Chain A
Amino acid sequence: GAGVSQTPSNKVTEKGKYVELRCDPISGHTALYWYRQSLGQGPEFLIYFQGTGAADDSGLPNDRFFAVRPEGSVSTLKIQRTERGDSAVYLCASGQGRDQPQHFGDGTRLSIL
């Protein structure tokens, strides 16, 4: 069956621009996570959704970052006024609950010039 799909796979934009990253989770998965990964590091937790609500958004680094999941399936991570330090691979994962295995997409590689 279809796995987690993330679009775009690559995004290059200029400093100060707004970007949206999309995640299509596995159908029926209620849990959805966003992570950010820099080279040589493990994924850094950003936000966790259970259904439509953000159960834990404590990993969002500042108020330039925002994520939504309005219908409990597709999620969008939004970054305003991008900075060069936002450059990373953004990973999305979905699962059947907070204590269940997570299924990851291949990520969006974001480069801020």
Chain B
Amino acid sequence: SQQGEEDPQALSIQEGENATMNCSYKTSINNLQWYRQNSGRGLVHLILIRSNEREKHSGRLRVTLDTSKKSSSLLITASRAADTASYFCAPLNTGGFKTIFGAGTRLFVKA
């Protein structure tokens, strides 16, 4: 099993700015997923990127994956106050079952 480690631990930005969060992992992966969690709620799946993909978009979200550096990034463009949440990356080992979450990045978007 392996854990994704998010960086930074916390990020505070103004509404309208872009937010970038990074994730590093240690071994080969099948895919890597990003999730968002609002306070007191369960996690919400944002994007899944497979090991043979380099970039993926969904609305204001852009995810990149660099398997040579074992890293991924999540970019949220034109952030909104409603984007305030914790964001987690979840790498899935090749052949693995378990998803190991890191401590996440806490994003605060000021209106």
Contact = CB atoms under 8 A, between A and B. Distances in A.
B65 to A, nearest CB: 15
A105 B33 contact: no
Contacts of B45: 101-103
Given A93-B42, A93-B43, A102 B99 contact: yes
Interface in B16-61: 30-31, 33, 35, 40-45, 48
7 contacts: A41-B103, A42-B88, A42-B104, A43-B88, A44-B101, A93-B43, A106-B40
B33 A45 contact: no
Contacts of B75: none
Contact of B41 (A42, A48, A93, A106): A106
**Overall SS of chain A's interface:** loop
Contacts of A58: 1, 98
B98 A99 contact: no
Contacts of B97: 48, 50, 55-56, 98
A64 B41 CA distance: 26
Interface-centre pick from B40, B42, B92, B100 (highest chain A CB count, 10 A):
B42
Contacts of B30: 99
Interface residues of B, number: 23
Interface string B76-111: 000000000000100010001111111110000000
Contacts of B1: 45, 58
B42 A107 contact: yes
Contacts of A26: none
B98 A40 contact: no
Nearest to B101: A42
A34 to B, nearest CB: 11
A6 to B, nearest CB: 8
